[in-house]
A and B are shown apart, each in its own frame.
Chain A
Amino acid sequence: MSLWAYLSIPNEAHSSYQIGPHCSSLSFHFLPRNSTLRDTRFQNLEMLRQAQRFLLTRASASATRSTRPFSTDLPAETAGDSKFIDAWKKLIPNMDPPKTPSAYMAPRPPTPSTIPSKLTVNLVLPYDSVLSAKEVDMVIVPATTGQMGVLPGHVATIAELKPGILSVHEGNDVTKYFLSGGFAFVHANSVADIIAIEATPVDHIDLNLVQKGLAEFQQKLSSASTDVEKAEAQIGVDVHSALNAALTG
């Protein structure tokens, strides 16, 4: 088809579904000279229609090749699930059983026999997954018992975190985040999950505000009367002194 020669589709076209802006540029090429207006418009429409079909098939072909945004992974049902589903079906045969979270999660890799060379890190916050399945060399997490370094092949651990710095080492790059606290799980298959409420890169923190906040909370602590106020002021002092240490130390 001669249409192929005429179409010069820009690079973004194959992943976008919009036909409109491209069509206007395409129609420009097709206008043959020395023909009546009716003929040209007819030919225009024909070419446009064919162009649309062409773009649509290309777009849909690439869409099926790429991952669909809402496809859910459905690995083989685990034992607990099938027991639940069987019990449900017996008692409540008219309704479908509800799905469980394991149906929405890709299964984790099994424990390898040799120590892998890289550690896979997931850093998740309520608002975002900052790092997901990132391969790094080492992470240092601020556990309540002190800074803990995690290398590939680390023993399986559940660590409670205090406010402090998380540093991710990848080759020669070190990225530092200030965590507000949370948990860190290190699994036997060299996957580390770090769950925190807030994680800000250290260069986004303002030292003056930190020092002001520290002074304010220390003053509140000394003037606190009830236990609740004391506890709140203590938390404020802890976080701000950790921030201070992170920025200055």
Chain B
Amino acid sequence: MAMTALRREGRRISGLLMSPHPVNLLRSSLASSDREQVLVGARSISTQVVRNRMKSVRNIQKITKAMKMVAASKLRAIQTRAENSRGLWQPFTALLGDIPSVDVKKNVIVTISSDKGLCGGINSTAVKISRGIHKLNSGPEKECKYVILGEKAKAQLVRDSKKDIELSMTELQKNPLNYTQVAVLADDILKNVEYDALRIVFNKFQSVVSFVPTTSTVLSPEVVEREAEAGGKLGELDSYEIEGGETKSEVLQNLAEFQFSCVMFNAVLENACSEQGARMSAMDSSSRNAGDMLDRLTLTYNRTRQASITTELIEIISGASALEG
């Protein structure tokens, strides 16, 4: 606010004043507002503007450093849980295979994203991949709907695919993630959405600096039976004996629901890990940038300060020599 006032002052008076000689050397190194400020105080060059900028940049650096520490500690907490949950979906993939190229009529894309921002590009990549899958699976007689978890993907997808969004949920991470919560969520989705294939899009946590967009496919029991009869990857499914339940289809129904909740649990945990990791690296690079900016501003500040001292000295000396001579 002080800066805008000063800028206004500068613009009013700049027309009237001539810039003093030493200031011209500084012009190229100062920002435009500083230039105007310099013209206002024709005799004394003020370092106030630069000092204000330095103060705000330093504050930003502190904030981003603190956010990085917070993200690092949250990442540590959730990383072990995500790694432990990795064994959960493997038996399902071993049994039912993984066929993202399956051709079905009703596709539902479950996009998992974060609620909070400042986490780098992971939400944008998830949305891009979802849009890509939507494009792949759109055609005559095929429909493709979105189920969105997280604010950020909702904000992006609502702009062009509003009519395709079936369900959206936010504030998943208010309480620490656990299986019961995810199971209830999965149940909600399965009850309200008709699907032949559910495609879950999330960012898999590979390391603190690498997050790989991944998609898991969960098929409905009818499609599983159809693919098993057609042969191919699921062809061996018929050779499995079914124990328990009244009919095979009932067991397959339970299996599909259980698979969905397990895959969702892992996906949500991995995405949360990726979010914290991405936030850590984003905040790290922004504190580094703030540090660089601060270095440059410090140099400018010193130059301004020295120039004003030099100007004063010149005035005094020229005044003194004028008196003598």
Contacts and interface: CB of A to CB of B under 8 A. Distances in A.
Contact of B87 (A81, A92, A108, A124): A124
A126 B94 CA distance: 17
Given A72-B206, A197-B179, A105 B93 contact: yes
Interface string B223-245: 00000000011001001111111
Contact of B94 (A70, A105, A155, A160): A105
A185 interface: yes
Interface string A87-118: 11001100101111110110010000000000
A195 interface: yes
Given A84-B101, A91-B136, A99-B213, A124 B240 contact: no
Contact of B239 (A126, A160, A188): A188
Interface in B251-267: 251, 254-255, 258, 262-263, 265
Contacts of B97: 78, 80, 102
B123 interface: no
Contacts of A95: 128-129, 132
Given A185-B95, A193-B91, 18 more contacts: A80-B101, A88-B132, A91-B132, A98-B212, A98-B213, A99-B213, A108-B94, A122-B91, A128-B84, A143-B244, A144-B245, A156-B240, A160-B244, A187-B95, A188-B239, A195-B88, A195-B91, A195-B262
Most buried by B among A78, A157, A182, A183: A183
Given A78-B233, A100-B216, A129 B128 contact: no
A21 to B, nearest CB: 23
A79 interface: yes
A158 interface: yes
A145 B102 CA distance: 33
7 contacts: A79-B232, A122-B87, A122-B90, A155-B241, A158-B242, A160-B245, A185-B94
B3 interface: no
Interface in A125-155: 125-129, 132, 143-145, 148, 155
A83 interface: yes
B88 A124 contact: yes
Interface residues of A, number: 51
B110 interface: no
Interface residues of B, number: 53
A193 B243 contact: no
A98 B85 contact: no
Contact of A183 (B101, B133, B255, B265): B255
B100 interface: yes
B103 to A, nearest CB: 10
Interface in B102-146: 102, 128-129, 132-133, 135-136
Q: Interface on chain B toward A: helix, strand, loop, or mixed SS?
A: helix
A7 interface: no
Interface string A177-214: 00000110101100101010100000000000000000
Contacts of B201: 98
A237 B208 CA distance: 45
A139 to B, nearest CB: 14
Contacts of B262: 126, 195
Given A126-B265, A197-B179, A144 B233 contact: no
Contacts of A247: none
B132 A160 contact: no
Contact of A84 (B100, B135, B263): B100
Given A101-B93, A195-B262, A158 B241 contact: yes
Given A100-B98, A100-B214, A195-B262, A157 B241 contact: yes
Interface of A: 70, 72, 78-81, 83-84, 87-88, 91-92, 95, 97-102, 104-105, 108, 122, 124-129, 132, 143-145, 148, 155-162, 182-183, 185, 187-188, 191, 193, 195, 197
A98 B91 contact: no
Contacts of B207: 70
Most buried by A among B95, B97, B240, B243: B243
Nearest to A131: B87
A195 B206 contact: no
B274 interface: no
Given A122-B87, A122-B91, A158 B98 contact: no
Contact of A92 (B135, B204, B244, B254): B135
B99 interface: yes
Contacts of A132: 87
A79 B233 contact: yes
Nearest to A68: B207
A101 B263 CA distance: 10
B220 interface: no
Nearest to B250: A160
Contacts of B240: 156-158, 185
Contact of A182 (B89, B217, B242, B258): B258
Contact of B101 (A83, A101, A122): A83
Contacts of B215: 98-100
Most buried by A among B132, B233, B242: B132
Contacts of A157: 240-243
A25 B243 CA distance: 63
B99 A80 contact: yes
